[in-house]
Structure 1
Amino acid sequence: MASVVSLEWPSDGVALVTMTNPAINNHGSWAGIHELWQTLVAAREAGARVVVLASGVPGHWFEHAWLRDLSNMFQRKELSGPSDGWFGCLTELSKTDMVSIAAISGDTSGGGCEIGWACDLRVAEEQVLFSQPEVRIGVGTGIGGTSRLVRLIGRTVAAEMVLDGAPVTARRIHELGGVNKLVPTGKAVEVSLAWAMRLASHPADALAGMKRMLAQSEEHPLTEAIMNDQKIFQSFSGKPDAIARMEEVQAKFDAGATIRDTYWPDEIGEGKP
């Protein structure tokens, strides 16, 4: 089967992974999702600190499982590719040495949505619809979609999505906290790459350490999570690079710079938060 996933390097430490399978509107064939998993692995192993997941099919980001493969799997018939790609993608997206951004430029559903929910950050265009239509097919969310969705947007709207299978607008998902940035049509990849480049410019140990804190904080009661945060903090905050940066920033403060001048010179101003 022809390749449907590409890997590009727009900037140092930033990988752009694009799935383009117009023949099935970017539904997740087993072959395509396996290739997506292997491309994510290749990006991380080649030094990507941030990966942007994009679609090359207009109107569609990543859609739900290709039903030919899903049906064949349960009937033990021939599949388009190995069946390990779905959980492989989730495992790779959970790795703490690479941050992921979903650049959602078109409608996304089912397993495609579930890959998006598993990303660290989500940028969605304003025309996008999100849906978990599995109940209308007679199946379930198979790779954590319900559990992640409840944590991201709350039980009320998560219940609406998984029990009725109805679509929800990107604006509503954004208002509920499931999308980080809502952008105009055609801007998801551009905005995601700009954000990725900024993230990749942060110290690698700190970026990975903070992702590790985020991930592990959900696994512990608060008191244990705080202690675990301190353990992770100690693991990288005293390294020579961190000390050098502390000294550099303190010198700016000593010279009269403010927090705004030092950390966000280009991010706060007219029309910005």
Structure 2
Amino acid sequence: MASNIQVEWPDAAIALIIVGDGGTPGHTTSCATVSALADALDAAIEQGARVIVLASSVAGHWLEHAYLDDIVKLVEGQAATGDPAGWFRSLQTLNRGSAVTIAAISGDTSGGGCELGWACDLRIAEEGARFSQPEVIIGAGTGIGGTSRLMRLIGRTMTAEVVLTGQPLTAERLYALGGVNRVVAKGEAVEAALAMARHIAALPPQSVAGMKRMLGEAEDLNQSQGIENDQAISQTLFAHPDSLVSMKAIQQRFDAGETMDAIYWTRG
């Protein structure tokens, strides 16, 4: 694993993966870094992570755009800093892997970095963080989800502005559009993400995994197909032995007079 990728385990089922400065100018994300990130993501799941928080240790920056020298060398038939397939492996694991993924966005993010964030299930951003897809300024395109995934998050109209002008949206604006789940004070993204991770990790694992699968597969289906797929997955969850135990226990609490508020909902 590259020295700029650190993995911590705040809890047994939660992996915190921290991406540091990989030594490429402009806080960019090299093929070497993203290949190491893909390895770290897969290893975390193999080691039992059910929730992964993706963070950065670079002050003022989360994950930035691809190292342009890598792209130029690949187009010209030369070797890049690492395996470019790491981009696609990382995206696949973030979006379709068995672990729920939370982006703890502590600063500016752009290009391929944004696209890694769009692939996560949940996004928590710090105040003032800026999100941009500058590919049109570079003379390139958003090759790994900066248009297609973003459009599903915030709609075509605003995505068109982002990708056709290359100018950034703030975390606050993105939150209003539905692109991030929460905006928190500077320095609080990781802790807020870990709090959400702990809540999710405490839920029935079979149900969380099933819902993550539902979310991912629904992106590729029309509404009728999606409902059929939801039903097929949910039937397996209802029949799971642990789910049967849970349903019986919860019904007993209702029978004893407890309210939905007391049984299901947390405060704060």
TM-score tier by shorter-chain length is over 0.9
- Structure 2 length-normalised TM: 0.96
More deviation, 208-217/48-57: 208-217
Q: What are the Cα deviations for residues 56-87 of structure 1, in whole angstroms up to 9, with x where unaligned?
A: 11100000001111111111223111111100
Secondary structure of the 1:86 match is: helix
Q: Distance in 2 between matches of 1:128 and 1:15?
A: 23
Q: Is the 8 A contact 2:64 2:109 kept in 1?
A: yes
Mean Cα deviation higher: 227-236 or 124-133: 227-236
Question: Amino acid of the residue matched to residue 32 of structure 1?
Answer: T
Equivalences for residues 28-177 of structure 1 within 5 A: 28-177=29-178
Q: Following TM superposition, where does structure 1 have runs of at least 4 consecutive aligned residues deviating by more than 6 angstroms?
A: none
Aligned residues: 267
Name the counterpart of 1:10.
10
CA contact (8 A) 1:29 1:65 kept: yes
Q: Deviations over 1:150-208 (max 9, x none)?
A: 11001111111100100111101000000001111110000000100110111111001
Structure 2 unaligned blocks of 5 or more = none
Q: Report what 1:239 is aligned to.
A: 240
Deviation (angstroms), 1:16: 0.3
* Alignment RMSD: 1.4
Number of the residue aligned with 1:203: 204
Q: CA–CA distance in 2 between the matches of 1:53 and 1:245?
A: 31
Aligned-partner Cα distance in 1 for 2:155–2:257: 44
How far apart are residue 113 of structure 1 and its match? 0.1
Q: Percent identity?
A: 51
Please give the alpha-carbon distance, in whole angstroms, between the structure 2 residues aligned to 1:2 and 1:258: 50
Question: What do residues 97-119 of structure 1 show as CA deviations (whole Å, max 9, x unaligned)?
Answer: 21100000010000000000000
Which residue in the other structure is 2:182 paired with? 181
Of 189-198 and 210-219, more deviation after overlay is shown by 210-219
Unpaired stretches in structure 1, ≥5 consecutive residues: none
CA distance in 2 between counterparts of 1:93 and 1:9 reads 18
Contact persistence 1:96–1:208 (CA under 8 A): no
User: CA separation in 2, counterparts of 1:37 and 1:2?
Assistant: 11
Letter aligned with residue 23 of structure 2: A
Query: Contact (CA 8 Å) 2:96, 2:216: kept in 1 or not?
Result: no
Structure 2 residue identity aligned to 1:244:
V
Aligned amino acid, residue 11 of structure 1: D
